[in-house]
Amino acid sequence: MSLIVWSHPYSAYGQKTAIAFYELGLPFELKLVNGEPAVTEEFGKVSPFAKMPVLIDEAAGATVFESSIVIEYLDRLAGGGTLIPADPVEALEVRFMDRIIDTYVAGPMNRIVFNRLGRAGTPNETAMALEAKELESAWDMLEQRLSDGRTWGAGESFTLADCCAAPILTYARRLVPFGDRPHLRAWHARLMARPSFVRALEEAAPFGDLMPAPPPAD
Ligand SMILES: N[C@@H](CCC(=O)N[C@@H](CS)C(=O)NCC(=O)O)C(=O)O
């Protein structure tokens, strides 16, 4: 089995996928998206939106992008039912949490970061305040969802929802702190201790801290 992943260890979506590989025990070869012109040109041929990660399954002749779809693909390759539960009702909750975090946490987070880095032109303070409000709403929603006492994002098993949450919550809380939301804090603490995420963070460490926000104060 030869699985190649175009990614970068600091990338939130790259980490999301790396966590899935480690959870499933699947080996992969990293193609580092490092900004070098030749790499960028080659990457542009496999990634239609120039976004990482992209999975190439050479044995199957398949190119898969969109991190959630990559993880569904990997889960099936590993036999199925681990990161996406076999039970359709449980699977729906997993996909729901993945979508909520991707849309309402990563969405505003990325727009704030793009503003701060000047990638969206002159930083727009009004727009960034609105994005921060959306992040607060997402924290409220997640706190409420987790208040049923679940251990992981969608129940008692570590799933796609947790692969998604670990890196994205870790970066986003630096923009809008968790505040007084004990369930959210406890879940994030469990994610930080999960060996697959610890490994992804260790791999990102040599690249330094690229986030345009101070480390969390709490
Ligand atoms: N919806 C995509 C988002 C991927 C994404 O935004 N990746 C970022 C890295 S975390 C990226 O490639 N950014 C490069 C750029 O915007 O130039 C997914 O889930 O895979």
User: CATH number of the domain that 56 lies in?
Assistant: 3.40.30.10
Q: Hey, which of 6, 7, 51 would you mutate to test ligand 1's pocket, going by the most ligand atoms within 8 Å of its Cβ?
A: 51
Question: Of 22, 28, 117, 102, which is closest to residue 67 (Cα–Cα)?
Answer: 102
Q: Is residue 217 in a domain?
A: no
Give the bridge partners for 31, in sequence order. Answer: 6
Clarify whether residues 109 and 164 are in a common domain: yes
**133-151 average pLDDT score:** 98
Residue 82 lies in a domain: no
Asked if pLDDT for residue 66 goes beyond 80, the answer is: yes
145 belongs to a structural domain: yes
Total number of domains constituting the chain:
2
pLDDT for 34: 95
Give the pLDDT mean for 53-64: 97
Whether 60 and 111 share a structural domain: no
Residue 132 phi, psi (nearest 5): -65, -35
Mean pLDDT of 155-184: 98
Q: Same domain for 115 and 57?
A: no
Domain that holds residue 7: 3-77
Does 17 contact ligand 1 (Cβ within 6 A)?
Answer: no
**Residues 125, 53 share a domain:** no
Q: What is the pLDDT of residue 71?
A: 98
- Cα of 34 to ligand 1 centre, how many Å? 14
CATH of residue 116? 1.20.1050.10
Instruction: Give the Å distance between the CA of 51 and the centre of ligand 1.
Output: 4
* Per-residue pLDDT tens digits for 184-194: 999 999 999 99
Question: What's the confidence (pLDDT) of residue 1?
Answer: 57
